[in-house]
């Protein structure tokens, strides 16, 4: 015997079990049925969920944005200073001439990473003189690091365009050259400095000036930071000799 297909009766559909009327009125013959839309576009609730997700993503991004902006402001104001752990390997910086506006100088301590092999018997600390310059130009900049048998050498500003830097700080153990200052103040408390936007530790001896010029500059540094550092004609290479 041929079996009849399982067709629900008009009065007992899956949508309306036991109900004599179908869920929707029958469509006239030949009428087309509109395509279904997505739940998000079809219901107000879907749109709300989309907006909530977007707001949550924006809220989560705010703290990270504020942290980055805050660090940028603090660095520009000099409030952070050199906060990174120094390698403990000194490097040499020379220039035929440095000219700067907004100059400050005070003593401080640089710290190496815990367990640094360069710490020796220093306890991982280096006593340094921090020099801060708001805006600086340098002629024929040279920087070299002795790697033991060879030197990593960087040169820039040898042509017509000079090296420029803003919010420049250097942590040095030695600085030599022929210096000239305008409106210098010697003996300030480092926490009260105003010329370069950097403040040192309270109770520390310091000096500041409106401008500084140093010919035949030579520094032994452990750290350098700058807001902007432009090095035209940059060359990086290994060399048998340093600066």
pLDDT in tens, 74-107: 333 444 445 689 999 999 999 999 999 999 999 9
Instruction: Look at residue 202 and tell me whether its pLDDT is greater than 60.
Output: yes
Express each pLDDT in 101-125 by its tens digit.
999 999 999 999 999 999 999 999 9
Question: What pLDDT was estimated at residue 74?
Answer: 39
pLDDT at 130: 96
Note the pLDDT tens digit of each residue in 22-66.
Answer: 444 444 444 444 444 444 444 455 555 555 454 444 444 434 333
Q: What is the pLDDT of residue 25?
A: 44
What is the C-alpha separation between 43 and 199, in angstroms, rounded? 59
| Contact of 102 with 195, CB cutoff 8 Å | yes
Burial of 139 (0-12, 13-18, 19+ CB in 10 A): middle
Residue 10 burial by CB count (10 A; 0-12/13-18/19+): exposed, middle or buried?
exposed
pTM, two decimal places: 0.68
Per-residue pLDDT at 100? 98
Please give the pLDDT value at position 36: 43
Q: Please write the tens of the pLDDT for every residue from 150-179.
A: 999 999 999 999 999 999 999 999 999 999
196 within 8 A of 188, measured Cβ to Cβ? no
- For residues 13 and 6, what is the distance between their CA atoms, to the nearest angstrom? 12
Mean pLDDT, all residues of the chain: 79
How confident is the model at residue 183, as a pLDDT? 98
């Amino acid at each position: 015997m041929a079996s009849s297909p399982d067709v629900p009766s008009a009065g007992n559909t899956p949508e309306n079990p036991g109900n004599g009327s179908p869920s929707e009125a029958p469509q006239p013959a030949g009428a087309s049925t509109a395509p279904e839309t997505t739940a998000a576009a079809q219901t107000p609730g879907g749109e709300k969920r989309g907006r909530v997700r977007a707001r949550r993503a924006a809220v989560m991004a705010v703290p990270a944005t504020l942290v980055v902006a805050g660090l940028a402001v603090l660095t520009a104001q000099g409030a952070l200073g050199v906060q990174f752990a120094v390698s403990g390997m000194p490097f040499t910086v020379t220039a035929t001439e440095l000219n700067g506006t907004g100059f400050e100088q005070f003593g401080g301590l640089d710290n190496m990473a815990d367990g640094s092999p360069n710490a020796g018997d220093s306890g991982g600390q280096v006593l340094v003189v921090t020099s801060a310059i708001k805006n600086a130009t340098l002629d024929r900049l040279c920087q070299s690091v002795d790697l033991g048998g060879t030197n990593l050498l960087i040169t820039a500003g040898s042509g017509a365009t000079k090296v420029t830097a803003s919010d420049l700080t250097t942590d040095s153990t030695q600085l030599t050259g022929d210096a000239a200052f305008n409106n210098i103040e010697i003996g300030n408390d480092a926490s009260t400095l105003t010329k370069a936007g950097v403040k040192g530790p309270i109770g520390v001896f310091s000096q500041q000036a409106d401008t500084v010029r140093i010919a035949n500059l030579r520094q032994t540094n452990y750290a350098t930071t700058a807001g902007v550092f432009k090095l035209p004609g940059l060359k990086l290479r290994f060399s048998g000799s340093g600066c």
